[in-house]
């Protein structure tokens, strides 16, 4: 059995995985309540909470530690202090039990998370099921990243990840969080934007729209959210506080709609840039993938392309250790040294 530890930002998480059973246990402690008071993640407080919560989480393990044969831990990207706590815990366990320890790239954890449930339904025949889904086009949308990537097996049989499109400025989650702040909705912004957007009137009342970046540049395969944020800021500057207050749902719906249109538009451009039938599945993962309007948009794209949508169950969208455990097993060639953490790691910088 493999034990995974994830502590890259503000979630303390552990999980157990075995190739025969899949994810056998996964739990986490979210620090959102602590950071909400400060309007964003405070790194020092994150470290303190990790230190307090990991012992409690370890007490919840449903099996004795002697059944754990390997430890996997996130080594980056993330906050330096947060990463260091998880890595120290993983090293201590590995040393005490005399077992192997491996480092996992947090982003590869997200990227492979659409396959966790594919494995869960039929662990024995997972390899055949996976082969039918590759090449896979995935969208990773979180607070720090917006990436379209392709997963395939290369000539040596290794899983390869290639970035197809990235953001030139903010990540989608970051843009939603900042827009929520401008609208005075609170933190974390993404879920609040979704909540307010759901209350928007069906018939729009405001003379306000946001054009997704690169809409008029049909060959461009990249994301950008800063212009959309500026459009919202300029509009808000012309409104009274009372007007903003009264129109929060509509403003949230307009901004969220533009973010989703942008994510969908670029994903569809990638499909059009390839010969028909090249991709065999579409994936959606990361914290923003919990957004139901985004999920609906991706269900539609998958239908249009005649592909299965491998979306991730909400518990595995935000930061969690299940995806770290799964990536440690699925992607042995992507494993990293645990000698030192790597806060700036990107999805594709592993010199595989």
Neighbours of 333 (CB within 10 A): 12
CA atoms within 13 A on the CB side of 144: 18
Residue 331 has which token pair?
Answer: 């992607």
Nearer to ligand KG4, 31 or 70 (CB): 31
146 belongs to the binding site for ligand KG4 (CB under 6 A): no
- Counting residues that bind ligand KG4 (by CB under 6 A) gives 19
291 belongs to the binding site for ligand KG4 (CB under 6 A): yes
12 belongs to the binding site for ligand KG4 (CB under 6 A): no
Q: Which stretch binds ligand KG4 (CB under 6 A): 56-64, 188-196, 211-219, 321-329?
A: 188-196
334 belongs to the binding site for ligand KG4 (CB under 6 A): no
Residues 213, 258: Cα–Cα separation, whole Å: 9
Q: Minimal CA–CA distance to 319: which of 5, 1, 62, 3?
A: 5
Would you call 128 exposed, middle or buried from its count of C-beta atoms within 10 A (0-12, 13-18, 19+)?
exposed
Residues 308, 320: Cα–Cα separation, whole Å: 24
Nearer to ligand KG4, 3 or 192 (CB): 192
Can you tell me which of 190, 212, 283, 334 binds ligand KG4, judged by CB under 6 A? 190
114 belongs to the binding site for ligand KG4 (CB under 6 A): no
86 belongs to the binding site for ligand KG4 (CB under 6 A): no
Can you tell me which of 49, 194, 250, 331 binds ligand KG4, judged by CB under 6 A? 194
Sign, Cα dihedral of 66, 67, 70, 76: negative
Q: Which stretch binds ligand KG4 (CB under 6 A): 117-125, 268-276, 282-290, 325-333?
A: 282-290
Q: How far is the CB of 216 from ligand KG4 (least distance, A)?
A: 26
189 belongs to the binding site for ligand KG4 (CB under 6 A): yes
What is the helix, strand, coil percentage profile of the chain, to 5?
A: 50, 20, 35
Residues 194, 287: Cα–Cα separation, whole Å: 13
Per-residue contact string for residues 208-237; x = within reach of ligand KG4 by CB under 6 A: ------------------------------
Can you tell me which of 3, 5, 9, 104 binds ligand KG4, judged by CB under 6 A? 9
Residues 155, 32: Cα–Cα separation, whole Å: 43
Query: DSSP string of 207-263?
Result: S---PPTTTT-TT---B--HHHHHHHHHHHHTS-HHHHHHTHHHHHHHHHHHHHHHH
139 belongs to the binding site for ligand KG4 (CB under 6 A): no
Chain residues 155-174 in contact with ligand KG4, contact rule CB under 6 A: 173
Can you tell me which of 86, 114, 138, 286 binds ligand KG4, judged by CB under 6 A? 286
Residue 91 has which token pair?
Answer: 């090293």
Q: Which stretch binds ligand KG4 (CB under 6 A): 126-134, 281-289, 296-304, 305-313?
A: 281-289
83 belongs to the binding site for ligand KG4 (CB under 6 A): no
Which residues, listed in sequence order, are joined to residue 6 by a DSSP beta bridge?
Answer: 13
Can you tell me which of 250, 287, 297, 338 binds ligand KG4, judged by CB under 6 A? 287
Q: Minimal CA–CA distance to 109: which of 243, 235, 240, 287?
A: 287
Chain residues 303-322 in contact with ligand KG4, contact rule CB under 6 A: 318-319
User: Where on the chain is the footprint of ligand KG4 (CB under 6 A)?
Assistant: 9, 142-144, 173, 176-177, 188-191, 194, 286-288, 290-291, 318-319
């Amino acid at each position: 059995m493999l034990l995974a530890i994830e502590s890259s930002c503000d979630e303390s998480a552990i999980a157990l995985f075995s190739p025969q059973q899949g994810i056998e246990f996964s739990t986490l402690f979210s620090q959102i309540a602590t950071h909400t008071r400060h309007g964003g993640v405070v790194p020092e407080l994150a470290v303190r909470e990790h230190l307090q919560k990991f012992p409690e989480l370890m007490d919840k393990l449903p099996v004795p530690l002697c059944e754990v044969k390997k430890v996997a831990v996130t080594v980056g990207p993330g906050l330096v202090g947060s990463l260091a706590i998880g890595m120290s815990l993983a090293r201590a366990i590995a040393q005490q039990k005399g077992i192997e320890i491996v480092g996992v790239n947090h982003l590869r954890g997200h990227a492979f998370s659409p396959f966790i449930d594919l494995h869960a339904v039929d662990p024995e025949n997972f390899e055949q099921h996976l082969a039918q889904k590759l090449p896979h086009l995935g969208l990773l949308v979180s607070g720090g990243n917006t990436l379209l990537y392709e997963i395939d097996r290369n000539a040596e049989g290794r899983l390869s990840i290639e970035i197809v499109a990235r953001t030139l400025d903010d990540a989608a989650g970051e843009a939603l969080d900042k827009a929520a702040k401008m609208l005075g909705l609170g933190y974390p912004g993404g879920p609040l934007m979704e909540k307010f957007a759901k209350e928007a009137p069906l018939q729009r009342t405001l003379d306000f729209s946001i054009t997704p970046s690169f809409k008029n540049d049909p060959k461009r395969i990249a994301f950008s959210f800063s212009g959309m944020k500026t459009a919202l800021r300029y509009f808000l500057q012309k409104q009274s506080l009372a007007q903003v207050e009264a129109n929060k749902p509509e403003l949230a719906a307009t901004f969220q709609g533009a973010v989703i249109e942008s994510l969908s538009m670029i994903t569809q451009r990638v499909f059009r840039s390839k010969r028909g039938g090249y991709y065999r599945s579409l994936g959606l993962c990361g914290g923003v993938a919990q957004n139901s309007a985004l999920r609906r948009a991706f269900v539609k794209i998958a239908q249009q392309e005649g592909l299965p949508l491998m979306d991730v169950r909400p518990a595995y969208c935000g930061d969690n250790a299940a995806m770290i455990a799964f990536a440690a097993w699925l992607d042995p060639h992507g494993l990293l040294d645990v000698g030192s953490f790597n806060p700036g790691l990107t999805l594709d910088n592993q010199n595989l």
